[in-house]
């Protein structure tokens, strides 16, 4: 039985974190392939050959109109040679043992496609990621706490994680109270901004954008679609951390993997169990 996990990392139109994202999957034990979105839209590449599809961070179409909006519209409306849209093919893709991951701009794309949180199952937009309360681009490290319940299955040994954020539009806004209540009741708010002790925070600067529910990441009801604003692919080694020297001097023990790599490894190891 082939247990190699394959990941398709999408690039093009301003996405600029594809190499780091592919490196994260490779170091986690998967086999990544980077492909331009046009390869999918033209029918040159079939998504069903992969286990995971990743939409990395960046500035697709310069964040014109709204972050991720233009790329989401291409995916929603552009007809493929098959006669389907890529969104329809992504929906079909998720019927199997598959997963879609969106990081930063990728999260914004998934939200505008309606793939997250997709509570009503109609691929209609239910949340958005809007301008930070600070009204500026936030480029720094924050702490995040993972939810240990709900459909997210890849946080089992990760609770409080330092991760970098790099965004100007990361504030989660729910369409209405019904969507917000469903996110809470179904435990879809799988990653929240917190302090170093793990206490969830709603206020700036520990919450870098003012996101509702202090949300840093969402999962859909199936656990197959996961989006987050922080960049785990930028914390693959302890040496990526700005305080790595102090950690070493304080007697840091254990391997030198960053928490971001641990998250990717958890995702890849999960797929190995079901292949």
Kind and range of the H or E run holding 27: helix 18-27
> Are 39 and 45 within 8 A, CB to CB?
yes
pLDDT band at 153 (very low <50, low <70, confident <90, very high): confident
* Cα torsion angle, 267, 272, 273, 274, sign: positive
Whole-prediction pTM: 0.95
What local confidence, expressed as pLDDT, does residue 271 receive? 84
Model confidence at 253: pLDDT above 80: no
| Confidence band for 2, pLDDT divided at 50, 70 and 90 | low
What's the mean pLDDT in 186-206? 96
Whether residue 68 is preceded by a cis peptide bond, meaning omega within 30 degrees of 0, is no
Q: If pLDDT is split at 50, 70 and 90, which confidence band does 219 have?
A: very high
Q: Pick the range with the lowest mean pLDDT from 66-75, 115-124, 251-260.
A: 251-260
Over the chain, what is the mean pLDDT?
95
Q: Which of 18, 20, 89, 233 is catalytic?
A: 233
| Across 156-165, average pLDDT | 94
Is 194 catalytic? The answer is no
Which candidate in 17, 104, 144, 174 is catalytic? 104
With CA atoms as reference, report the closest residue to 5 among 84, 97, 67, 129. 97
Is it the case that residue 125 has pLDDT exceeding 60? yes
Looking at residue 245, its pLDDT comes to: 87
Per-residue confidence (pLDDT) for residue 248, from 0 to 100: 79
CB 230 within 8 A of CB 206: no
252: how many CB neighbours lie within 10 A of its CB? Answer: 11
pLDDT digits (tens, 9 = 90+) for 64-114: 889 999 999 999 999 999 999 999 999 999 999 999 999 999 999 999 999
Mean pLDDT confidence for 11-35: 98
From the candidates 143, 167, 231, 241, give the one annotated as an active-site residue.
231
Structural domains in the chain plus CATH codes:
6-133+169-177+216-274 (3.40.50.880)
> Confidence band (pLDDT; 50, 70, 90) for 174?
very high
Residue 249 confidence (pLDDT): 82
The Cα–Cα gap between 18 and 3 comes to 24
Helix, strand or coil, per DSSP, at residue 21: helix
pLDDT of residue 270: 86
The proportion of the chain whose per-residue pLDDT surpasses 90, expressed as a percent, equals 87
Q: What pLDDT, on the 0 to 100 scale, is given for residue 85?
A: 97
pLDDT in tens, 135-146: 999 999 999 999
Q: Percent of the chain having pLDDT more than 70?
A: 98
Pair of tokens at residue 200: 């969830």
User: Could you tell me the CA-to-CA distances from 115 to 58, 172, 244, 248 in Å, in that order?
Assistant: 19, 15, 36, 41
Q: What is the pLDDT of residue 250?
A: 79
CB-based contacts of 273: which residues, under 8 Å, 6+ apart?
A: none
Mean pLDDT of 250-271: 88
Average the pLDDT over 154-164 and give the result. Answer: 93
Residue 159 a catalytic site member: no
Rounded Cα distance, 211 and 213, in Å: 6
Q: Taking the CB of residue 197, how many other CB atoms lie within 10 A of it?
A: 8
């Amino acid at each position: 039985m082939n247990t190699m996990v394959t990941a398709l990392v999408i690039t093009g139109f301003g996405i600029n974190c594809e190499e780091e994202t592919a490196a994260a999957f490779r170091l986690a034990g998967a086999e990544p392939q980077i492909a331009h979105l046009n390869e999918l839209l033209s029918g040159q590449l079939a998504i069903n050959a992969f286990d995971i599809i990743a939409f990395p961070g960046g500035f697709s179409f310069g964040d014109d109109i709204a972050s991720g909006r233009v790329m989401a519209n291409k995916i929603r409306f552009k007809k493929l040679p098959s006669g389907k849209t890529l969104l329809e093919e992504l929906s079909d893709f998720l019927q199997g043992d598959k997963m879609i991951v969106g990081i930063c701009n990728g999260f914004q794309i998934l939200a505008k496609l309606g793939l997250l949180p997709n509570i009503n199952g109609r691929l209609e937009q239910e949340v958005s990621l809007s301008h930070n309360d600070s009204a500026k681009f936030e480029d720094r490290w924050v702490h995040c706490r993972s939810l240990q319940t709900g459909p997210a299955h890849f946080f089992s040994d990760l609770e409080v994680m330092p991760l970098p954020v790099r965004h100007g539009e990361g504030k989660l806004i729910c369409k209405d109270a019904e969507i917000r209540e469903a996110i809470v009741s179904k435990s879809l708010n799988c990653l929240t901004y917190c302090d170093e002790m793990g206490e969830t925070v709603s206020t700036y600067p520990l919450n870098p954008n003012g996101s509702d529910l202090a949300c840093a990441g969402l999962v859909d009801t199936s656990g197959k679609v996961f989006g987050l604003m922080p960049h785990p692919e930028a914390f693959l080694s302890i040496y990526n951390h700005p305080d790595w020297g102090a950690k070493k001097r304080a007697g840091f023990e254990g391997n030198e993997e960053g928490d971001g790599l641990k998250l990717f490894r958890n995702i890849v190891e999960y797929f190995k169990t079901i292949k």
